[in-house]
């Protein structure tokens, strides 16, 4: 059963003289537990598509339905709450809160969800241990390498037990070793905890790990292939 339904999604920018169709009539569905990659050249519209799936950007037309909820029908604050409860984000530039430690960054999401303190503490430690950072709980982002920061970001994305995780170019700033470590962690989480991951990437190493590869160009889906592993 699909947890995400993207219907006729279009995003047109009118900032330039000629309107730019960043996403043009996209229809997609994602099932629980998928490990999918949206690929395409720079400017193809993959990040815009991902942002709309995550409810960060409003479409010009069309809809994104998550578990039966049309996200863009929600009010601004309800949409933020919806994201908090259902979607995890991993950004290219890690985007950890610089004044919080690794542990506090992960806890931050659960605190916004008003989770119980004990439960929060246990889950945070377990998540950071699962991304190999059990010994760096009290390190601030500036005391961690890029790869470590991105692993904290993954732990943070999973903290809220989201329905799916959106990762926009998560490996773009990482070296090969860190990339492989990160991908392995996400693969394990996908396999063992059935967490849905959707990547926007042009990193072949990510594509190689994906079970489904969606190619986008000029805002349109060019191909949508399942890859047997």
Partner 1 sequence: MNTILKIAWRNIWRNKRRTFITIASIMFALFFSTIMRGFQLGSYANMKRNAVEAYSGYVQIHKKGYWDDKNINNIFSIDEKLVSKLENDSRVKVIIPRIESFALASSGESSKGVLVMGVSPDKEDKMTQIKSYLEEGEFISENDKSILVAQDLAKFLKVGVNDSLVLFSSGYHGATAAGLYAIKGIVKLPTPEMNRGTIYLPIEEAKSFLSTEGKMSALVFDLHDLEDADGVLETVSANIDHEKYEVLGWKLMNKELIQMIESDNAGGIVMISILYLVIAFGIFGTVLMMTNERTREFSVMVSLGMQKTKLAMVVLLELFFMTLLGVVAGIAISLPIMIYYYYNPIVFTGESVEAMKEFNFEPIMPMSLDPQIFLTQAIAISIISLIAMSYPTIKIMTMNVINGLRS
Residues engaged in binding partner 1 (CB under 8 A): 51, 54, 56-57, 76-77, 80-81, 83-85, 89, 91, 95, 97-100, 104, 107-109, 111-113, 156, 160
CB of 112 to partner 1, least distance (A): 5
With vertex at residue 131, the alpha carbon angle to CA 124 and CA 112, rounded to the nearest 5 degrees, is 30
Q: Which is nearer to partner 1, 56 or 207 (CB)?
A: 56
Smallest separation, CB 80 to partner 1 (Å):
6
Instruction: Name the residue nearer to partner 1 (CB basis): 34 or 107.
Output: 107
Question: Residue 74 or 180: which CB sits closer to partner 1?
Answer: 74
Question: How distant, in Å, are the alpha carbons of 163, 192, 193, 207 from that of 182?
Answer: 20, 15, 16, 14
Question: What is the closest distance, in whole angstroms, from the C-beta atom of residue 89 to partner 1 in the complex?
Answer: 6
Name which of 154 and 210 has its Cβ closer to partner 1: 154
For partner 1, which is the closer residue by CB, 67 or 95? Answer: 95
Please state the closest distance from residue 57 (CB atom) to partner 1, in A: 5
How far is Cα 207 from Cα 35, in angstroms, rounded to an integer? 10
Tell me the closest approach of the beta carbon of residue 98 to partner 1, in angstroms.
7
Residue 61: exposure state from Cβ atoms within 10 A (0-12, 13-18, ≥19) = exposed
Closest distance of CB 191 from partner 1, Å: 25
Query: Which C-beta is closer to partner 1: that of 15 or that of 135?
Result: 15
Q: Closest separation between CB of residue 153 and partner 1, Å?
A: 10
List residues bridging with 69 in a β-sheet: 66
Q: Which is nearer to partner 1, 42 or 77 (CB)?
A: 77
């Amino acid at each position: 059963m699909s947890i995400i339904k993207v219907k006729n999604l279009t995003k047109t920018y009118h900032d330039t003289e000629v309107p730019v169709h960043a996403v043009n009539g996209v229809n997609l569905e994602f099932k629980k537990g998928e490990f999918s990659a949206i690929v395409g050249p720079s400017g193809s519209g993959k990040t815009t598509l991902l942002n709309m799936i995550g409810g960060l950007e409003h479409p010009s037309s069309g809809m994104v339905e998550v578990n039966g909820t049309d996200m863009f029908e929600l009010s601004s604050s309800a949409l933020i709450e919806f994201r908090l409860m259902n979607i995890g984000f991993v950004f290219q530039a890690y985007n950890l809160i610089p004044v919080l430690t690794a542990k506090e960054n992960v806890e931050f999401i659960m605190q916004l969800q008003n989770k119980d303190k004990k439960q929060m503490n246990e889950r945070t430690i377990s998540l950071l241990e699962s991304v190999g950072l059990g010994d760096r709980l009290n390190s601030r982002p500036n005391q961690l390498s890029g790869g470590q920061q991105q692993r904290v970001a993954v732990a943070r994305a999973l903290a809220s037990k989201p329905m799916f995780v959106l990762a926009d170019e998560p490996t773009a700033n990482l070296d090969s070793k860190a990339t492989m470590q990160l991908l392995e962690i996400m693969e394990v989480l996908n396999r063992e905890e059935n967490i849905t991951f959707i990547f926007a990437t042009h990193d072949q190493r990510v594509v190689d790990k994906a079970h489904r590869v969606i190619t986008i160009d000029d805002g349109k889906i060019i191909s949508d292939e399942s890859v047997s592993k």
